[in-house]
Structure 1
Amino acid sequence: MAIKHKLYFSIWLLSFSLIGIYLLSGEPQETFPGETITKYGIVIDAGSTGSRIHIYKWSESTEEMTPFVEEIAPEFKTKPGISYSHKNLEMIDSLVGDLLDFAMDHIPKNKYKSTVVYLQATAGIRLLPKKQQESIINKCREVVHEYPFLYTPENIRVITGEEESLFGWITVNFLTGNFEIENSSLHSNKSTIGCLDLGGGSVQIAYVPSAINQSSVEDKSLFHKLFINGSIYRVYAVSFLGYGATEANIQMIQYLEDHQKSLDYRGHSIAISSCYPYGFWGDFCTTNKENCKFVLGNFDYQECKQEILQAKFPNKKCNFSNCSINGTFQPDLQDSYVGLSVFFHLNSFLFGNDNPNSTIQELTQKGDQYCNLKYSEMVKTHHKNTRTFPYLGLYCFYLVYSNTLLENIFGFSINGEQNINKIGSVDETEISWTTGSIIYHLSNIHQTKFPVHFIILNSRYHYIFFLICFALFFVSLVFVFIYLKQYLANSHQIDNNLRQDFIDLSDLEVFINEQNQNRNGFKAKQKED
């Protein structure tokens, strides 16, 4: 190989090793093989009704690919949701500040600077105009910046409904062990659990369809391809803004007023609804508190269901083989799900811990029995339970609305052909989309045009690759110096040869000129003779 080509190859090798060192010099590797380091992370779920902090701890080790995150602090929540602060941003000082003060009490001081903070706003903020969203998020960034934790502005943002849905799905399957590594070839669509999440502002559903044929998928934009620990998952994940329990409640009451199912009392329009127990009356406000509605209850399950269908789901247009909300394509359901948020809290209220796998039919029977009580009787029974007391009247609406979503909109069987396990925790770890979020952000994730996320959970080979690149850098650097020196030496020799050739050519030119002059002189002398 010519010296010039060897030099070019060494320079290329040097550049390659530098790029490798740069890519491997940061996260996720911070330990030597076999060592572990304890890390902490904070995720603030800025929801529609309040903001809840989740504090996680995990041991980062080169010996494992997936760090197991553990939630270490009790539940702590501030109310109202930060979406209510759009007219008074100073509210955020306490709404977010109190959460971070709480975190400082539960994280070791020597870990503050390495503890990453994520504040992720959901449906309550997504319902606001963009300018109001930006002002609230910027104020949140200012508050977080005052604390000693690690964060970037991108950590404080409004997440999409699809992200929230995927995070929930990751949480459920991570905690139930479905992402455990198997020593075999690449798997596709390993057995997983679907995730249903009914919040205040939106409802999410995410699952891997029971029978998926990519050529027959009618709307590929709703599928997200995940590569996790050697397995590929094609997850159907959608979110419907404005279809959460709180927003649906307000919109249904508005519908009753618009259709003259209300009465006027001292200047207030009070809707008469079949979705609340007899004798109940109360006021409900939208996320931004600018629209409050009054309602009087007189419960009837079937009439309530019709009110919900007419108010929230009047459009049955569908351009696909099967649709859910607003004509959105929905593939075949899988067999097993976990129900979060309202699904869990409603089931827990009605059954306690006795029947987390209750069917729609069982929920209907139990709920109908409860909701046909007078509201005054409910108060007598539950007035000492401060956790459930504020929702006594709402549970009846939650019952009918959640069942309507499951049976009439998403197509679940009332007899339990699809198992929905309505639980709040797995092995004492709360099931929250925030767990999926911290796992997602702990991972090295790359996204392509088609929503594909490659999740490499703390590769054990990271340290080895770094050493290889480092050694390659020094070897290639030595060769660059050697070949560069040889190249310059050869160039100098060539230059001397060219210079000598130039001198020789000059002498030849002088000789030729002399010969020409002699020839010309000889010719001139001949002419004279």
Structure 2
Amino acid sequence: MSLYTVNRWPDSPECALHPLCLSPSPLLLSSGHLSTFYSSIQQAAPEASSPDNMMRVFYGIMFDAGSTGTRIHIYKFIQKDPVELPVLVNEMYHAVKPGLSAYKDNPEEGGNTIRQLLKIAKKTVPEENWRMTPVVLKATAGLRLLPEDKANALLKEVREVFDESPFFIPNNSVSIMNGKNEGVLAWVTVNFLTGHLYSNTKRTVGILDLGGGSTQITFLPKSKKTIQLAPSSYIARFNLFNETYQLYTHSYLGNGLFAARLATLGALGADGLDWKVFTSSCLPKKFRENVTFGGTTYKVSGIPDGYAGYKLCYYEVMKVIKGIVHQPYEVKGSSIFYAFSYYFDRAVDSGLIDGSRGGAVEVRDFKKRAKEVCNKMTKYRAISPYLCMDMTYITCLLKEGFGFKDSTVLQVTKKVNNVETSWALGATFDFFRNLDIH
């Protein structure tokens, strides 16, 4: 019997402190099935069953196949005693570049990147736990942007690689995740790690996730007006810790950082790529290179005889955001938002925050630093010739897109409690507990 042929934990106050104790669903471990759970562990790890050592250890492996890279998250859970509930102990994280979508014409090579990461999983997870450790891959905007046949060929290759592995391969272990789930599960991750999901205050934090191909905003509205004024597709409902949550969430495909660069340049979806050169006043005047995104190569350049700088760049970037990004009713208020992924990377690159810790940044700080970077492009070119464009885009997205005030404080971070801020942990909970997001 598989470890995951299970029912549910009993309802209890302490249940809310543990990741495997989310809302009732058909995928949960129950006290009635603990004997089965322990027998499966004992079969795999006899030494763990001795009376002197009651601690049970189990793992979950989640692959995040993004547009600019593939990341593996290996989560370790422990159960110290049969009467206690499992807790999240730590995470092993590793990433490879480029993303799977770069192998759209060579799926076998894309599969090799997954094999490479599975080797790390085999070193991290003890051999006696392999056959009951689930491996799941969810692809995001990189594969969403590909033609269906290309995306399916890559997913088929990954399934074959998974089938070769010694780990537990659940049904539907390889899939493309929709953007709404991406935002909701990132919100679950951050609010779990910050302790908001099991407090009685009903206070939660919002999330801003900026990937390569898409960007997400998700928060729990305080005002009914936010829900009433939002498009119906921007509201997601699910049960968690015996609470029903109604979130504002949306994923903007094509508005991730790398896709937005190409859209700003007028290159995304353009023809004549063999001979066209796409220019922008957001780039250093003498800059010129070939850029590959999603397996397609573009010729990109600054404007040698033209002007460059923040104002012109802001005007160009606005075209990518104006009329596309919805402004939620209450983001001008005092809600706390955690911003991560490329928000974090570019804040570090531009010197706004320390890369080892992250930090609190006002929206106006992004604007101020964007102006500095754009008006001194030669100084920052060594860090990245795209830093002006990227910082301007982030400023424009936050202010003109989502409608944040200059004074809004964002917690810009990469990790919370030493765990990556991404949807991957939320997706692992979802696998164990099936949040049933609508």
Aligned equivalent of 1:55: 74
One-letter identity of the residue aligned with 1:340: F
Cα distance in structure 2, aligned partners of 1:119 and 1:152:
11
Give the secondary structure class of the aligned counterpart of 1:232: strand
Which amino acid counterpart does residue 69 of structure 1 have in structure 2? L
SS in 2 for 1:414: coil
User: Equivalents in 1 of 2:184, 2:436: separation in Å?
Assistant: 15
CA deviation vs aligned residue, 1:158-197 (integer Å, no higher than 9, x gap): 0001111111101110000011265xxxx8xx21100101
In the TM superposition, what is the alpha-carbon distance from 1:41 to its structure 2 partner? 0.9
Distance in 2 (alpha carbons) for counterparts of 1:393 and 1:68: 44
Matching residue's letter, 1:161: G
Could you tell me which amino acid in structure 2 is paired with residue 307 of structure 1? E
Aligned equivalents of 2:366, 2:134: Cα separation in 1 = 41
Residue 168 of structure 2 corresponds to which residue in structure 1? 150
The secondary structure found in structure 1 opposite 2:71 is strand
- Which stretch has the larger CA shift, 35-44 or 402-411? 35-44
CA 1:101/1:256 → structure 2, altered by over 3 Å: closer, same or farther?
Answer: closer
Q: Which residue of 2 aligns with 1:100?
A: 118
1:68-113 CA deviation, whole Å, 9 max, x = no partner? Answer: 434432x422222111222112112311100101111111010101
CA distance in 1, matches of 2:216, 2:6: 39
Q: Tell me, in whole angstroms, the C-alpha distance in 1 between the residues paired with 2:199 and 2:113.
A: 40
AA of the residue aligned to 1:300: G
Q: Is the 8 A contact 1:197 1:203 kept in 2?
A: yes
Distance 2:152 2:241 in 1: 36
Q: Secondary structure of 1:105's match?
A: helix
Q: In 2, Cα distance between the equivalents of 1:149 and 1:313?
A: 43
Match of 2:367 among 364, 379, 382: 364
Offset at 1:216?
3.4
Equivalent residue for 1:42?
A: 61
Q: In the alignment, which residue of structure 2 is the partner of 1:7? A: none
C-alpha separation in 2, matches of 1:106 and 1:161: 30
- State the shift of 1:215 in Å: 8.2
Conserved? CA contact 2:27–2:432, under 8 Å? no
2:345 alignment counterpart? 345
What secondary structure does 1:90 align onto? Answer: helix
Q: Deviations over 1:399-454 (max 9, x none)?
A: 001111110011001122xx21111111222212111111222224446xxx1xxx
**Residue 205 of structure 2 contacts residue 336 of structure 2 at CA under 8 Å; is this kept in 1?**
yes
Aligned-residue identity in percent: 26
Displacement of 1:218 in angstroms is 4.8
Gap runs ≥5 in structure 1:
1-20, 259-266, 317-323, 383-388, 452-529
Are residues 1:399 and 2:391 paired?
yes
Deviation at 1:37, TM superposition (A): 2.2
Q: d(CA) in 2 for partners of 1:444 and 1:63? A: 23
Give me the whole-angstrom Cα distance separating, in 2, the residues matched to 1:368 and 1:256: 25
1:296 aligns with 2:302: yes
Which residue is equivalent to 2:421?
431
Give the length in aligned residue pairs. Answer: 388
Q: Which residue of 1 aligns with 2:284?
A: 277
The letter for the 2-side match of 1:394 is Y
Which of 192, 198, 220 is the equivalent residue of 1:208? 220
Q: Does 1:140 align with 2:134?
A: no
Answer 1 or 2: which has greater helix percent: 1
Q: SS in structure 2 opposite 1:351?
A: coil
Residue pairs, 1:32-431, within 5 angstroms:
37-60=56-79, 63=83, 67-73=86-92, 75-180=93-198, 182=200, 190-212=202-224, 216-254=228-266, 268-289=275-296, 291-296=297-302, 299-310=308-319, 312-313=320-321, 316=323, 325=325, 328=326, 330-333=328-331, 335-349=335-349, 350-353=351-354, 356-375=359-378, 377-378=379-380, 389=383, 392-416=384-408, 419-431=409-421
Does the CA-based 8 Å contact 2:239-2:436 persist in structure 1? no
Return the letter of the residue paired with 2:34. Answer: T
How much does 1:330 deviate? 3.2
Moved more, 161-170 or 422-431: 422-431
Amino acid at match of 1:96: I
Paired residues of 2:327 and 2:401 also in contact (CA < 8 A): no
CA distance in 2 between partners of 1:254 and 1:176 (Å): 40
Post-superposition offset of 1:233 = 1.9
- CA shift for structure 1 position 398: 1.1
Q: For 1:107-137, what per-residue CA distance to the aligned partner results, in whole angstroms no more than 9, with x for missing partners?
A: 1010101111011100000011222221111
Change (3 A) 1:293 1:441: same
Task: Report the AA paired with residue 365 of structure 1.
Answer: K
- TM (norm. structure 2) is 0.80
Contact 1:70 1:429 in 2 (8 A): no
User: Deviation of residue 212 (structure 1)?
Assistant: 2.1
Q: Counterparts of 1:107 and 1:88 in 2: how far apart (Å)?
A: 30
